Amino acid sequence: MGYYWMYYAATLFMAYAVRNPWACGVALAFFAVRRWLPDPVVLFRTLSRVGALKLQAELNSANVVVRKQLGLAYLDLLRPRAALRYLDEARARQAREPEIAYLRGVALLRLHDDEGALRAFGEALGIDPEKGEPFSAESVRAGASAYSRYGDAYLSAATALERLGRLPQAEEALAMGVSCNSSALEPLLRLASVRKKQGDAKGARAAIEEARHTWAQLPPFMRRKQLAWGIRTIGLWLFAR
């Protein structure tokens, strides 16, 4: 049946809303604040786990895995401050774990602590941004892991760098994000945007063209996953011609 149930649900909702206009208002309100609300499926699945994980964390103060899982659960619930509490506890016990550093960076980024987030992402990737090391392959310290979480660490670092106005470094981070996941459209379109902000129109067009070519090569199931980015790619490509 797939997603076809949504057509039936929409039809039934419209029939109901004709007699109950307030239902439309509630639906529109949820739509307006959707970016601040956790996915309902994730919400119910995660809430059922949090209680058990917290109990395990209280029983064993040295359990790093549970604290990492709690941090991830609270990030799913859009509660970065609660996530950071458990991730900080995990980091105190396992300071060199890249996944913990990355998750801390995500929490700090959501709390708009961009400098702190940048340090955390650098820690995950083996880069020291405080020393001016760029987020590029050449700057990764010898002996550091090849952790990148499929490019997410570089994309998140680029977000922090953009907020801080450090566009050349953001461009380097996005270029690394492209190399880590060649089938993703987001890093290419963000790379085009950062280049455009720096006055590099030619480079921006090249990134958009690469995104269009990538979109054309994607299999159907990957297109469905990136539909919004695909629509944006085609729009930018048409506008840049």
Which position has the higher pLDDT, 23 or 97?
97
Interval 121-154: pLDDT, tens? 999 988 888 777 778 766 665 545 567 777 899 9
Q: Yes or no: say if 187 and 181 are a contact pair by the CB < 8 Å rule.
A: yes
In 18-151, the DSSP E strands lie at: none
Q: Is the pLDDT of residue 42 over 80?
A: no
CB 125 within 8 A of CB 140: yes
Q: Please tell me the predicted confidence (pLDDT) of residue 163.
A: 97
**Whole-angstrom distance, CA of residue 95 vs CA of residue 124:** 10
Q: What is the pLDDT of residue 145?
A: 55
Determine the Cα angle at 180 with ends 176 and 181, to 5°: 120
- Which pLDDT score, from 0 to 100, does residue 240 have? 75
**pLDDT tier at 1 (50, 70, 90 boundaries)?**
very low
Instruction: Identify which has the larger pLDDT, 146 or 156.
Output: 156
In angstroms, the CA 208 to CA 26 distance is: 38
Q: Kindly report, residue by residue over 228-240, the tens digit of the pLDDT.
A: 999 999 999 998 7
Structure tokens, 53:
């994980």
The 10 Å Cβ neighbour count of residue 71 is: 28
The packing angle between helices 98-110 and 114-125, to 10°, is: 160
Mean pLDDT of the 202-210 span: 96
Quick one: what percent of the chain has pLDDT higher than 70?
Answer: 76
Residue 2 scores a pLDDT above 50: no
